[in-house]
Amino acid sequence: MILTNNFHHTRVQVNLRGNTFLSPRQVRRAWRALCGIATCPCSDGPTGTGTRGQQHLDSVPITLTACPNGSVVIEQETQPGASPHAPQCP
């Protein structure tokens, strides 16, 4: 999976190993590669990954959701009008 930051024009490849989440270590590594500046307002949302802009997995739009333990859940975006559900944090 490749995460991107369209503000800094950076990309990082993350190995999912069949998982539907990023470990806290993978989140930190992605953040350092995509931005790494603690005071930079470039990234989207509170996931801590340093991503900005639409993210995709196998050409399918995805949503990244932060979990309390520092991991990030990867989910396909829901269709408009679909009922939202809570992510399953590891």
**pLDDT digit string (tens) for 1-44?**
999 999 999 999 999 877 789 999 999 999 999 998 888 888 87
Stated pTM of the model: 0.82
> Has residue 75 got a pLDDT over 70?
yes
**Per-residue pLDDT, 47:** 78
Do 72 and 48 touch, CB atoms closer than 8 A?
yes
User: 50: buried, middle or exposed (CB in 10 Å: 19+, 13-18, 0-12)?
Assistant: buried
Residue type, 12: V
E-strand spans in 1-90?
A: 2-5, 10-13, 21-22, 55-57, 60-66, 72-76
